[in-house]
Structure 1
Amino acid sequence: MEKTIIPKGYKSILDVYDTQTAIGFIKRCFEEALTGSLKLKRVSAPLFVDEQSGLNDNLSGSERPVKFDVPALNNNGEIVHSLAKWKRVALKQYDFHVGNGLYADMNAIRRDEELDNLHSIYVDQWDWERVISKEQRTIDYLKETVQDLVNAIAETSSRLHTKYPKVETVIDTKISFITSQELADLYPDLTSKERENAYVKEHPTTFILQIGDLLNHGEPHDKRAPDYDDWTLNGDLLFWHEPLGCAIELSSMGIRVDDQALITQLEKANAKSRLEYPFHQQVLNNELPLTIGGGIGQSRMCMLLLGKAHIGEVQVSLWDEETIDACKDKIFLL
């Protein structure tokens, strides 16, 4: 099965030069909308962290971070996968309080990522995090925050259409919330990705709740690191992407683990050895603020709003020969 899909009759709405300008416009507009909606302040993001800090995102647990030695430190650095844990520490360091938060323009390398229309080894996303109270650690608060995020995306889409009338992507602000177990019950004979496609086709803006824990059939909907999101209070935001005829995940987010959720999830993941890391000790000792946060894919958003068929149309990365050959004369890879 070919991994690169070229939609029949596909032609980019904007040429390569207008695309570049539009990418910058989208990023500026969305940052304005995001910071206003979620009360966030911009901070500088790290490209790498100390491998002994426990701050790097372990993703599903199988991905290998890019490492390099630092002779002056007598230790190794790791290119970040995301800033899921780093942001929580930063909120404490910057002395943020309940109701306020930060966002960072994050760039990363995920060397083991598959290469296809939606995936690249280069990752660019807005990583954001906000301090919450104990009383806000609820599904209802999570849903409210998801709605704020979708409203910011819809505002960006509207401004994009005003500037580029040919771009007609419409974001449905009515969100369909469904748990991963409900989704599995609805489509018991489909894989997790097939379930997403089937459901999101009928509900173009969807948030799948509670990802990471085992479902009734013995497998998780998707793997999720056990030491940042609370698996009972997290989820993925997906939109229907017409050019590819599939669901596209734009954001993974959630309320973060407290001390009890951290212990429970590390036990389930057979990863209690991580409790030795400084970050995990801070969570256990309640030295870090309670937070909600997530990552929002920049290239994914540009793909969605500009109606692009391949992520290589909106970012510069490395591609294998199969991808290059498939896109030749059909899709312009930056």
Structure 2
Amino acid sequence: MTYKSQLSQRQTEKAIELIKDFFSKNLAASLRLRRVTAPVIVQAGLGINDDLNGIEKPVSFSAKSLNGQQIEIVQSLAKWKRLTLHTLNIEEGTGIYTDMNALRPDEITDATHSIYVDQWDWEKRLLPEQRNPEFLRDTVRKIYQEIRKTEYMLSEEFQGIKPILSEDIMFFHSEDLALLYPTLTTKQREKEICKKYGAVFIEGIGYPLVDGKPHDGRAPDYDDWSTLRADGKRGLNGDIMVWNPVLQDAYELSSMGIRVNPSVMITQLEMLDCNQRKELWFHQQLIKGVFPDSIGGGIGQSRLCMLLLRKAHIGEVQTSVWSKDTIDECTSKGINLF
């Protein structure tokens, strides 16, 4: 069956503008966030940039005007945001959000992954007693409802867009999925649970499951994926995922979590054999207790636009670089890449 977009390219551009304006303002109001300007580049060697799963290398270059100092293009702002909460002296219960533009040169590109990444990156200061699954889930619900509001707004603006998102989001720990679907891969588990419930938050991503492998990889120095909870499970983080009817697959919209405190970070660094990071400036500051407790995450801008506009490829809502094979395949399927 040949794919046909619900919107023309002109309508798509207008819809992208509407989504980015509407969602960011409502997210900020719901979570009590204020906008701050995000960096595209950061100084190398401080531990501020994000290496994602722990192995992805950022784009780097030497700056002539800075005596050859190494500079990196950001891959995400997970650690920069926590530093910014401290430097701006953000009050407890409030936070910041940014329009992040990043490059991930090691990304394996496909219909939902691009070398170019745009996100609403957000971070909120919390009290130590809010380091629990209930507070995490309450935040997830608020984010999900803003996504649903945005979908409804679009349905009022464009005849071809009808609301499809489920009313509520369900919560499952990665251990739950392993018990429910023991013979399936983690990606297959995500597909089955999203198809059944429509919208789910998968908790505890990063800590080894019964088979000794995590549901998915996570860096050791921002999300808390190892804390032992009252229910006997591990982790205060997770992914917001929904069923994508165009792709007929599970679809990640956001990775988020309560952030590591000093003791948790040390534990996770040791678990992943990354003890050398303790010598980096950012990690030393965190170990000293300089940074406030926080919760944060990233919500993909192109990802959200792609879902809400019923697009089949992320290249229909952002401009990036694609292989000739990808371009040819998309053309044959009626997918018009920007």
Sort the TM-score into its range (normalised by shorter chain).
Answer: over 0.9
SS, match of residue 229 in structure 1: coil
Q: Aligned partners of 1:277, 1:115: CA distance in 2, in Å?
A: 31
Q: Does residue 91 of structure 1 match 2:95?
A: no
| 2:14 corresponds to | 21
Write out per-residue CA displacement over residues 143-199 of structure 1, whole angstroms, 9 at most, x where no aligned residue. 000000001111111111111122113222311100111111111111111110011
SS, match of residue 268 in structure 2: helix
Shift of 1:278: 1.2
Q: Aligned partners of 2:166, 2:135: CA distance in 1, in Å?
A: 20
Q: Does residue 261 of structure 1 match 2:264?
A: yes
Q: Aligned partners of 2:266, 2:91: CA distance in 1, in Å?
A: 25
Q: Aligned partners of 2:175, 2:60: CA distance in 1, in Å?
A: 37
Q: Does residue 10 of structure 1 match 2:10?
A: no
SS, match of residue 84 in structure 2: helix
Q: Aligned partners of 1:62, 1:266: CA distance in 2, in Å?
A: 14
Shift of 1:116: 0.9
Shift of 1:9: 3.1
| 2:108 corresponds to | 114
| 1:219 corresponds to | 213
Q: Does residue 333 of structure 1 match 2:333?
A: no
Counterpart residue type for residue 156 of structure 1: T
SS, match of residue 150 in structure 2: helix
Q: Aligned partners of 1:209, 1:246: CA distance in 2, in Å?
A: 19
Q: Aligned partners of 2:63, 2:274: CA distance in 1, in Å?
A: 27
Counterpart residue type for residue 245 of structure 1: Q
Instruction: State the identity %.
Output: 49
Shift of 1:237: 0.3
| 1:303 corresponds to | 306
Q: Aligned partners of 2:195, 2:223: CA distance in 1, in Å?
A: 27
Shift of 1:233: 0.4
Q: Aligned partners of 2:300, 2:46: CA distance in 1, in Å?
A: 25
Q: Does residue 249 of structure 1 match 2:243?
A: no
| 1:4 corresponds to | none
Shift of 1:293: 0.2
SS, match of residue 273 in structure 1: helix
70-79 or 288-297, which moves further after superposition?
Answer: 70-79
- 294, 297, 306: which one aligns with 2:297: 294
SS, match of residue 308 in structure 1: coil
- 158, 172, 178: which one aligns with 2:172: 178
Write out per-residue CA displacement over residues 249-286 of structure 1, whole angstroms, 9 at most, x where no aligned residue. 00000000001100000000100110111111111111
Counterpart residue type for residue 117 of structure 1: A
Q: Does residue 285 of structure 1 match 2:288?
A: yes
| 1:3 corresponds to | none
SS, match of residue 328 in structure 1: helix
| 2:57 corresponds to | 64
* 1:81-230 equivalences in 2 (<5 Å): 81-230=75-224
Q: Aligned partners of 1:98, 1:139: CA distance in 2, in Å?
A: 18
186-195 or 35-44, which moves further after superposition?
Answer: 186-195
Aligned residue pairs total 327
Q: Aligned partners of 2:38, 2:46: CA distance in 1, in Å?
A: 16
Q: Aligned partners of 1:286, 1:28: CA distance in 2, in Å?
A: 36
Shift of 1:50: 0.9
SS, match of residue 97 in structure 1: coil
Q: Aligned partners of 2:218, 2:167: CA distance in 1, in Å?
A: 26
| 2:230 corresponds to | none
Counterpart residue type for residue 258 of structure 1: N
Structure 1: tracts of 5 or more residues without a match: 1-7
> RMSD of aligned C-alpha atoms?
0.9
CA contact (8 A) 1:169 1:307 kept: no
